[in-house]
Amino acid sequence: MRHGLLILKLLVLAYLGYLVYFFIATDGPAVTEYSPPFFLWTVDTINLFIHEAGHFFLKPFGMWVHIVGGSLVQCLLPLALTITVWRQNIAQVPYAAFWFGENLINVSYYIKDAPYKHLKLIAAGLIHDWNWLLSNNLDAAETISLIVWVLGVTACVAAVLCGVLLAVRSFKEAAIDIEEGWRDASTSEGEN
């Protein structure tokens, strides 16, 4: 049972590692031949709903907060989940942290597209958030995007490595607990 659980965790983490490779090897959704894995497409669809909810809920706080709110909420929700999970079940932190990193990468693509506006928005005639936010300094889009992308990839890589370490540690701790249980059982039988 323990071996199966370790293998399952490592397989999930290997897939997340593949997604990190995908992030590094592709230029993102602005490229016409962009075809993400189904899992990533599904997560990005969920991220889009969270992004749009950020716009909706932050609209009363002015235009700037309303516009930045989509990307802000899209990144803060997974970060809040990571912090919450850290306090409750540290073994699950890598998955929430990976989601946080993936959202940073997703937002970096949006920032990078600000000067070009090639990404398809959810409807025609909408404001491109980052084009509007950086309208006076579109030259900074590339640099800001790169910083956010590096932070996202770093978070994803750290999440995968942390996940592997936690999975192996959990496996070893379970083995020690079983060994101690056998030792205690044999000691109590010897006393009888």
How far is residue 126's CA from residue 128's CA, in Å, rounded to a whole number? 6
Instruction: Taking residues 172-191, report their average pLDDT.
Output: 62
Minimal CA–CA distance to 63: which of 147, 133, 167?
133
> pLDDT (tens digit, 9 = 90+) per residue, 152-162?
999 999 999 99
> pLDDT (tens digit, 9 = 90+) per residue, 114-140?
999 998 888 888 999 999 999 999 999
Residue-level pLDDT at 29: 82
Please check the confidence at residue 11 and state whether its pLDDT lies above 60: yes
pLDDT band at 191 (very low <50, low <70, confident <90, very high): low
By percentage, how much of the chain surpasses pLDDT 90? 74
pLDDT band at 172 (very low <50, low <70, confident <90, very high): confident
Mean pLDDT score across all residues of the chain: 91
pLDDT band at 187 (very low <50, low <70, confident <90, very high): low
Can you give 52-98 as a three-state secondary structure string?
HHHHHHHHHHCHHHHHHHHHHHHHHHHHHHHHHHHHHCHHHHHHHHH
Domain ranges of the chain: 2-25+35-183
Minimal CA–CA distance to 92: which of 167, 4, 175?
167
Quickly count: other Cβ atoms within 10 Å of residue 132's Cβ: 13
Please check the confidence at residue 181 and state whether its pLDDT lies above 70: no
Instruction: Taking residues 41-65, report their average pLDDT.
Output: 97
Instruction: Taking residues 164-174, report their average pLDDT.
Output: 89
Please check the confidence at residue 103 and state whether its pLDDT lies above 90: yes
Residue-level pLDDT at 190: 56
